[in-house]
Amino acid sequence: MDGIVQLDIFQFALVYLLLVVILVIMKNRKINQIKLLLIASVRMTVQLVLAGLVLTYIFKNPHPLFTVGYIVAMIAFSIYTVLSRNKGLNKKFKIVVGASLSLTGIGVILFFILAVVGVNFFNPQYTIPISGMIMGNAMTGVSLGLKTFNENVKTQRSKIDTLINIGVTPNKILIPFVNSALETAILPTLNSMLGMGIISLPGMMTGQILSGTMPMTAILYQISILIAISAVVCMAVFCSLYFGYRTLYNKRSQITI
């Protein structure tokens, strides 16, 4: 199979014309998110170009410290992003979220790289991009789960207070909120799995096919990574909420939200 077609700067710049289409629609419909679109587009471009330069250097000069350092940076940024989107969490809850993202993410990455792919963990060509997919989806899942949990608890605060007053334990009150948030967080991943191969060809598979990988090999990789993503999202959200909600009440069964 032929290798991937290289894009020159002019070809690459053409894709930004699609942003103009979005801007026109948003302006015409008076959607007040034009500034956000521009900032997001510039930030995405800068971040990915910088990431490309760093990865190019790492791939040309492979070293275990570079691979570990990049993964640590991924995890740290994931935790920071989740916590910045959920600023109302108490200190213990934040620690639980950070630990949940780190431990589940590292666990799934190690299993996938060492057991499923079967390569050296310090091989940046496999470990870094796979870690990025796993941690990126874990971050999104936990953010969505926490947002859903917090919003549901706030909107039903009066009901919660009533249940507390009649003697219902915080555990029985909050567990349904945990379950609902977990379902909401994992649902997008499950829905995307339903349409894979029929409605869409996912990014990892498309990239491998474009680079010349045989379709069946790309398919096996894609199925594997989707299952890994589903697992890490489920585990990270579950651990964050299941252990985190316990920080919301004291020994006297008073909910401190």
Instruction: Name the percent of the chain in helix, strand, coil, to the closest 5.
Output: 80, 0, 20
What pLDDT is attached to residue 38?
95
Residues 167, 181: Cα–Cα separation, whole Å? 24
For 62, 75, 103, the CA distances from 123, given in Å and listed in that order, are 7, 18, 20
Q: SS3 for 202?
A: coil
For 12, 50, 67, 73, 80, the CA distances from 54, given in Å and listed in that order, are 20, 6, 11, 12, 21
Q: What is the pLDDT of residues 157-174, one digit of tens each?
A: 888 888 888 888 888 999
Regarding predicted confidence, which is higher, 127 or 212?
Answer: 127
What pLDDT is attached to residue 222?
87
Percent of the chain clearing pLDDT 90 (strictly above): 72
What pLDDT is attached to residue 3?
59
The angle, 0 to 180 degrees and rounded to 10, between the axes of the packed helices 34-60 and 64-85 is: 160
For 28, 134, 204, 237, 255, the CA distances from 234, given in Å and listed in that order, are 40, 12, 21, 5, 26
pLDDT bin (cut points 50, 70, 90) of residue 129 is: very high
Q: SS3 for 196?
A: strand
